Amino acid sequence: MDFKRSDFPDGFLFAAATSSYQIEGHSFGGAGKTHWDTFAQTPGNVVRGENGDIACDHYHRFAEDLDLAAGMGLDGYRFSTSWARVLPEGRGTVNQDGLDFYDRLVDAMLERNLKPMATLYHWELPVPLADLGGWRNPDMPNWFADFTQVIMGRIGDRIYSAAPVNEPWCVGWLSHFLGHHAPGLRDIRATAHAMHHILLAHGQAISVMRDLGMSNLGAVCNFEYAQPVDESPEAAKAAALYDGYYNQFFLSGLFKSRYPDIVMEGLEPHMPRGWDQDFKTIQAPLDWVGLNYYTRKVIAPDNSPWPSHTEVDGPLPKTQMGWEVYPDGLRHFLNMVHNEYTKGLPLLVTENGMANEDTVGQPDQPRIDYLEAHLAAAKSALADGVPLRGYTFWSLLDNYEWALGYEKRFGLVHVDFETLERTPKASYHAVSAALAQ
């Protein structure tokens, strides 16, 4: 690696991220069913119908996994708490084993000098709440606030930083408009409701955590650079709209008390009643914003209904996901978020990494190159004056890549999903060496 820890400012935080359903093994410890379990049971949704029943069995092997994180020389560990593990019905009766698990997990991080960086919701919606309409239901923000109270009432005293929701775009658009993630809807009205309710849930959860005395609270959004397919005004407009609902919508709600006009041209007729009265709650003050960044998309106009555009194949080298490698996008978004929205608030890269067809013993050079290029982009953003305070690798372990099952390997550590054996990859060793310098 041609990056070293000492290239970054003192106190710059290096972390790795995971999420609960992707690694824990949801069949263990009395967790309730999530909408990912039922989504995976429905033919055509998930490659080979795979689910998170076992995943990496982190539920039983977390000590080994945190040893690996600490062994890499990381300062923090970004993890998420499963709503369905803590409240199997989504509301009401608490699963004590679930709370105890997160309690042990946080203590195990502290014992290893890893700062616990919590995400409350990384998509494990309890099935009983899905039955009530999931994120379409206007009561969801209240139920989410109740979950926040229960989980953070137990572990909040030891949490270094917390964000309520991972990637509201995925909860809203990917899951309700494109139908690629649970609940797999393709409905504009469901999308508008989910996109708004998820922000309202975020705001209410922030207030609950402040009332508990917690600090260092933020929001984590994902970003994809929208590249117009050609120089026509139609392509520019198509890319601007993609950028609008993907990269601007949630930040605009969080920081500007409005949603972008270009997006409301399509969504406004479908918004939940009274939506424009909710920004006071949504705008609960934040201490930082996290950016998850992987790729860009090439966007072309087409004749389908709004948003009337499509993704086309791009010319850049691609990862195992088929995603183009485009590090300039990371620098672009760090600058954009700072200049347009957060204006001085600390920023973190909360996810960045790539999937590669890794096998044990074969060096994952493409990942080393990818990480090097994106860390260089992060350094450029620092030089541009962006108050970037940390960088997080996605992911510590190979894991359940949602609708793509276990085939796409994002880990710095290889996991054999037959034996569950962990083997650090060449990128793990390269990062360890870089962080020691």
Residue with tokens 């990862």: 319
Site residues, ligand GCO (CB under 6 A): 19, 22, 166-167, 222, 292, 351, 394, 401, 410
What does the DSSP assignment read for 318-336? B-TTSPBP-THHHHHHHHH
What is the nearest approach in angstroms of ligand GCO to the Cβ of residue 166?
5
Angle of CA points 332, 348, 152, to nearest 5°: 145
- At 394 the three-state DSSP class reads strand
Residue 319 near residue 408 (C-beta atoms within 8 A): no
Nearby residues of 322 by Cβ (< 8 Å), 6 or more positions away: none
Which residues on neighbouring strands pair with residue 17, listed in sequence order?
78, 394
Please classify residue 44 by burial: count the beta carbons closer than 10 Å to its beta carbon, then call 0-12 exposed, 13-18 middle and 19+ buried.
exposed
Please say which residue, 34 or 292, places its beta carbon nearer to ligand GCO: 292
Please say which residue, 62 or 123, places its beta carbon nearer to ligand GCO: 123
Which residues on neighbouring strands pair with residue 80, listed in sequence order?
119
What is the nearest approach in angstroms of ligand GCO to the Cβ of residue 394?
5
What is the nearest approach in angstroms of ligand GCO to the Cβ of residue 50?
14
Catalytic residue among 167, 224, 324, 401: 167
Distance of CA 351 to the CA centre of its chain: 7
Q: Is 167 a catalytic residue?
A: yes
What is the nearest approach in angstroms of ligand GCO to the Cβ of residue 79?
11
Distance of CA 42 to the CA centre of its chain: 24
What is the nearest approach in angstroms of ligand GCO to the Cβ of residue 85?
17
Please say which residue, 167 or 278, places its beta carbon nearer to ligand GCO: 167
Please say which residue, 3 or 394, places its beta carbon nearer to ligand GCO: 394
Please say which residue, 204 or 395, places its beta carbon nearer to ligand GCO: 395
Please say which residue, 99 or 431, places its beta carbon nearer to ligand GCO: 431
Between CA 365 and CA 363 the distance in angstroms is 6
Please say which residue, 123 or 275, places its beta carbon nearer to ligand GCO: 123
What is the nearest approach in angstroms of ligand GCO to the Cβ of residue 407?
12
Which residues on neighbouring strands pair with residue 324, listed in sequence order?
318
Catalytic residue among 24, 124, 351, 401: 351
Which residues on neighbouring strands pair with residue 79, listed in sequence order?
118
What is the nearest approach in angstroms of ligand GCO to the Cβ of residue 222?
6
Backbone angles phi, psi at 351, to 5 degrees: -155, 140
For the chain, give me the number of helices (H) and strands (E)? 17, 11
Distances in whole angstroms, Cα of residue 113 to Cα of each of 69, 71, 386? 10, 11, 27
Q: Is 407 a catalytic residue?
A: no
Widest Cα–Cα separation across the chain: 58
Task: Please give the structure tokens belonging to residue 232.
Answer: 């026509």
Known catalytic residues?
167, 351
